Amino acid sequence: MPRKKSKVPLILEWVLHMLAYSLILISVSVLFNKTISIDNSYYGFWGLLAAIIIYGLNRTVKPFLVWLTIPITGLTLGLFYPFINVLILNMVDWILGSHFEIHGLWMSFVIAVLISIMNELVTDYVIKPLVKKEG
């Protein structure tokens, strides 16, 4: 009987990404407190909620936006792709209102790039080794 290929549990992958997003958001809000503000009430609830919404939008809306912007991304040789992440961050800013605010396009761009880098690091150095170890 062939062995079934095991995968990292979805909840573990979700928790790892939430920790990574929260780390990026908290670090940036501490370093650049005039350009990004996260409401600290309820013991960091709004930061965690922002991370959850970013993760959810990255899994649901982002693939559609990438597909929709393939022509412009191709024309710019991929330089437009980070602006999709900026759009996702601005959607979170709009959804959470005064509890999560990003002032300025460049700060959104910096956060989007940092989140993209963190996604790659978590995937390459944590999730893929766990999948290899189990498989």
Domain interval for residue 49: 10-127
Residue identified by tokens 């970013």 is 54
pLDDT for 51 equals 92
**Residue at 133 is within a domain:** no
Inter-axis angle of helices 81-96 and 105-122, to 10 degrees? 110
Residue at 58 is within a domain: yes
Residue 4 resides in a domain? no
Q: Report the number of distinct structural domains present in the chain.
A: 1
pLDDT-derived band of residue 128, with 50, 70 and 90 as boundaries? confident
Confidence category of residue 127, pLDDT binned at 50, 70, 90: confident
* pLDDT surpassing 90 at residue 14: no
Q: Is position 76 within any domain?
A: yes
In a domain, 5, yes or no: no
Least confident of 1-5, 27-31, 112-116: 1-5
C-alpha 25/C-alpha 125 separation (Å) is 20
Residue 132 maps to a domain? no
